[in-house]
Amino acid sequence: VPSSEIAAEFSADNTDYKGYDRGHMAAAGNHLHFIMAYSDTFILNNICAQNGDLNRGLWNDLEKMVRGIVWRCGECHVLTGPLFLGQTSYKNSRTQRNTLFLQRIGANGVALPSHFFKVIRPREGETQSYILPNRAGLKGSLAQFKVCKDEVERKAGFKIFYRP
Known catalytic membership, residue 33: no
Query: CA 57, 79, 135, 27: dihedral to nearest 10 degrees?
Result: 40
Beta bridge partners of residue 81, listed in sequence order: 117
Q: Is 52 helix (H, G, I), strand (E, B) or coil?
A: helix
Q: Is 69 helix (H, G, I), strand (E, B) or coil?
A: helix
- Give which of 71, 74, 85 is closest to 115, Cα–Cα: 85
Catalytic residue among 24, 31, 33, 115: 24
| Pair 20, 103: CB distance under 8 Å | no
Residue 95's contacts (CB-CB under 8 Å, 6 or more residues apart) are none
The catalytic residues are: 24
